Amino acid sequence: MNILIQNGTIVRSDKTFVADIFISDGKISQIGNSLNIQERIDKTIDAKGFYIFPGGIDPHVHMFLPTPAGYSSDNFESGSNAALFGGTTTLLDFVTPKKGQSLFDALKQRMAEAENSLCDYSFHVSPIEWTQKTEKEINECIKAGITSFKVYMAYKGAVGLEDDDLKKVLKAVGKAGGLVTIHCELGDEIDILRDKFVSEGKTEPIYHALSRPVELEAKAVQRVLGFAKEANCAIYIVHVSSKQSLDIIAKAQQSGQKVFAETCPHYLLLDDSEYKGTFMDTVKFVLSPPLRKKEDQDALWKNIQTGFISTVGTDHCPFNLSQKSVGINDFRKIPNGAGGVEHRMTLLYTYGILENKINWNQFVDITSTQAAKIFGLYPKKGEISVGSDADLVIWNLEKENTISVRNHKQNCDLEIYEGFKIRGAPEFVIKGGNLNPDIKQGKFLKRKI
């Protein structure tokens, strides 16, 4: 479909300007003020008064994640539909092998699960153990276009890695020139606190939060920075939630270490007061790391402004109330996670841009451009320039709504942003040159180092 978009305000991470965009064959083929179009035009959009920016890239989602409480409630089709509705066109999910399964086998299985994604997609592959074959498998993944890996310092006994194995992963990925993304929380110490609380009869969701204090996140960050330096491996710390962790990361960045930080909308907009109340009120906020204090929120916004935080991902991982309720008598059984892929752009517009916490260019940077650069997708993704994929959001500044479980597209009967007033929404979403709702299947994105 060839589309001409006229008179829109184009926002990139480096500049803002008014121009026309011509899309043909799924790519941006011209940008300018008096375009010379020789080809057929199938559709013309008058975008006067609208803002146009690159489709969002969510670098951290968990669709159809297997847990003892069942799969996370959005599969690739429903989750990507919600993502598109909110202006996100590319998803980076995860491959989590079972014990004994090769990384490459797990990748093939995950590719089949993701086939019905409407967004384009790639994965971070998670070594959950170190075997004699792991280094070879990491290199096979890189050859197949998977250049980032994921390790968990928490969730010991399930997917968490012991420190010695973590060091081996960092060394192997560092040698190959890839990137390791890391969930930083000290799992052993958390497990001791969890068991202690339950043995004292403290079983409610608030004890999930109390068993995962900021110090255990910050210590994990400090530890892994040391390991990564030793291994000469670039790292990306996912869902950074606290000021303490950020201070350590900022210092490492200033010293020249290659470390990126991601935070999530829930750490910017929600705080630990959400854990006060009944099981039904509080269980939806059981996610890791837990929600922190207001001071942490301020530090996160500041670190976005200064650039120490590169990306805002959602960690989209919704579970229905029936799934969360398996932990009614024991918070340790509650599956961790909450949805958010649909709301990231509008939340960052409403509570970031409109509240003068970030400007438009920073908005584009943290929702799209940086993720593309860090994860080997740039400039195909994350940019409005000639030759880039035509993944664009045409944003209506005036739309207003209230987030609710009653109207969200995410497949979940819980909503952590229930009642949040939002401004701004996509008027049109274009992916690969196709307009929503005619967007067809997404593509697997082979990435490069």
Q: Measured from the CB of residue 317, what is the shortest distance to ligand URP in angstroms? A: 4
Give the DSSP letter of residue 285: G
Residue 315 or 389 having the CB closest to Zn ion? 315
Which among Zn ion, ligand URP, none contacts residue 266 (Cβ within 5 to 8 A by kind)? none
Which among ligand URP, Zn ion, none contacts residue 336 (Cβ within 5 to 8 A by kind)? ligand URP
Q: Measured from the CB of residue 406, what is the shortest distance to ligand URP in angstroms? A: 24
Which among ligand URP, Zn ion, none contacts residue 357 (Cβ within 5 to 8 A by kind)? none
Quick one: which of 362, 364, 361, 350 has its CA closest to 398? 350
Which among Zn ion, ligand URP, none contacts residue 337 (Cβ within 5 to 8 A by kind)? ligand URP
Which among Zn ion, ligand URP, none contacts residue 427 (Cβ within 5 to 8 A by kind)? none
- 315 forms part of the interface with Zn ion (CB under 5 A): yes
Which among Zn ion, ligand URP, none contacts residue 221 (Cβ within 5 to 8 A by kind)? none
Give alpha helix (H) positions in 154-293: 163-176, 187-199, 205-210, 214-231, 243-254, 265-269, 279-282
Per DSSP, the residues of 37-90 read --S--SEEEE-TT-EEEEPEEES-B-TT---TT-S-S--HHHHHHHHHHHTEEE
User: Which two tokens mark 294?
Assistant: 């207001």
3-state secondary structure 135-160: HHHHHHHHHCCCCEEEEECCCCCCCE
Q: Measured from the CB of residue 33, what is the shortest distance to ligand URP in angstroms? A: 45
Residue 128 burial (CB count, 10 A): 22
- How far is Cα 284 from Cα 424, in angstroms, rounded to an integer? 26
Residue 119 or 287 having the CB closest to ligand URP? 287
Residue type, 197: F
Contact with Zn ion (CB under 5 A): which of 110, 124, 150, 183? 183
Residue 135 or 274 having the CB closest to ligand URP? 274
Q: Measured from the CB of residue 288, what is the shortest distance to ligand URP in angstroms? A: 4
- 427 forms part of the interface with Zn ion (CB under 5 A): no
Give alpha helix (H) positions in 272-427: 279-282, 294-306, 321-324, 344-348, 360-364, 370-374
Look-up of token digits 């081996």: 168
Q: Measured from the CB of residue 15, what is the shortest distance to ligand URP in angstroms? A: 34
The binding site for ligand URP (CB under 6 A) comprises 62, 183, 287-288, 315, 317, 336-337
Quick one: which of 189, 124, 129 has its CA closest to 160? 129
Q: Measured from the CB of residue 11, what is the shortest distance to Zn ion in angstroms? A: 28
Q: Measured from the CB of residue 147, what is the shortest distance to Zn ion in angstroms? A: 18
Which among ligand URP, Zn ion, none contacts residue 243 (Cβ within 5 to 8 A by kind)? none
Look-up of token digits 């491996």: 233
- How far is Cα 284 from Cα 355, in angstroms, rounded to an integer? 26
Residue 315 or 383 having the CB closest to ligand URP? 315
Q: How many amino acids of this chain bind Zn ion (CB under 5 A)?
A: 2
Residues near Zn ion (CB under 5 A): 183, 315
